[in-house]
Structure 1
Amino acid sequence: MQVTDIMSTPPVTVEAEATLYETIAVMLEHSVGSAVVVDEWMVGVITRSDILRAAYAAGDELDSIPVTRGMSDDVVTTKPETSIRHALELMRAHDIKKLPVVDDLDLVGVVTATDIARHQPERVRELQSAIERRDDWTD
């Protein structure tokens, strides 16, 4: 099975100029726990946990905190033809649970540990045993 078989499409994105408030609205609208941050190209990924950390650290109104303050900018990507096993190995190696999927230079989807759990739960157990939770807010 390949990433293309289970990835979420289209990818949920927010512009790099967005605030955390706007990012939360997009994530709630699409019922997702993360979004890819774009500025002509992918510049980061932000999760619910990232938003909580950034809001707490800033101690300010969510509509005044830029999404770039909370996002991870060291984005690890994969390709649609990548095997599920290899995608999990990437997640394990980089201690992440979400991989944007790119085809040439196009962002075409996102594959998450949750997507894999729906289709291959035995693979997720491998990932869970390898990734240590950083804190109770990590998702």
Structure 2
Amino acid sequence: MTTAREIMTSGAECVATDQTAADAARLMAQHGTGAVPICGPDNKLKGVVTDRDITVKVVAQGRDAGTFPAGDLNQAQAVTIGADDSADEVLATMTQHKVRRLPVIDDERLVGMISIADVAHALPNATTGELVAALSTG
């Protein structure tokens, strides 16, 4: 059985809730990703901020990314997957919540992220196609 730990990209770095949207953007650029997890002062995951979030919720609204708190971009509740959960659970969670990136947690600690690209590399083409189709529908 393939697990989330085997699919994920490890070493995800968080942007802190008290950092800015610009800090989040710099992390994305530094790591070549389109999203970074948001962590609170307790180092627990609060959500995920995407490049689209910054564009739509900050830049397009005329807000200053250098002062806009990254913590204001997190969701009400972060959607996550356990590191030892199966690939089937990864796919079901991504499909159910319509997310393209999924933080991976082990003992309440962020250990990595799974993106659609990670799924495409790790799982059969038909499975990947089903996920992409599910995420592409309204």
Partner of 2:70: 67
Give the aligned CA root-mean-square deviation in angstroms: 1.6
Partner of 1:8: 9
Partner of 1:33: 34
CA distance in 2, matches of 1:104, 1:92: 24
Q: Secondary structure at the match of 2:45?
A: strand
Displacement after TM superposition at 1:130 (Å): 1.3
Partner of 2:126: 122
Displacement after TM superposition at 1:58 (Å): 3.2
Displacement after TM superposition at 1:124 (Å): 1.8
Which blocks of at least 5 consecutive residues in structure 1 are unaligned?
135-139
Amino acid at match of 2:74: M
Partner of 1:137: none
Match 2:81 to one of 78, 98, 108: 78
CA distance in 1, matches of 2:128, 2:35: 18
**TM-score between the two structures when normalised by the length of structure 1:** 0.87
Displacement after TM superposition at 1:57 (Å): 4.8
8 Å Cα contact 1:85-1:123 kept in structure 2? no
Which stretch has the larger CA shift, 117-126 or 65-74? Answer: 65-74
CA distance in 2, matches of 1:51, 1:71: 11
CA distance in 1, matches of 2:90, 2:45: 19
Percent identity of equivalent pairs: 25
Amino acid at match of 2:36: A
Would you identify which runs of 4 or more consecutive aligned residues in structure 1 move more than 3 Å?
none
Q: Does 1:18 align with 2:14?
A: no
Displacement after TM superposition at 1:74 (Å): 2.1
After superposition, give the CA deviation of every residue in 1:54-94 in whole Å (9 maximum; x if it has no partner).
Answer: 12453122102111232334211111111112101111101
Size of the aligned set, in residue pairs, is 134
Amino acid at match of 1:131: L
CA distance in 1, matches of 2:60, 2:26: 20
**TM-score between the two structures when normalised by the length of structure 2:** 0.88
Q: Does 1:131 align with 2:127?
A: no
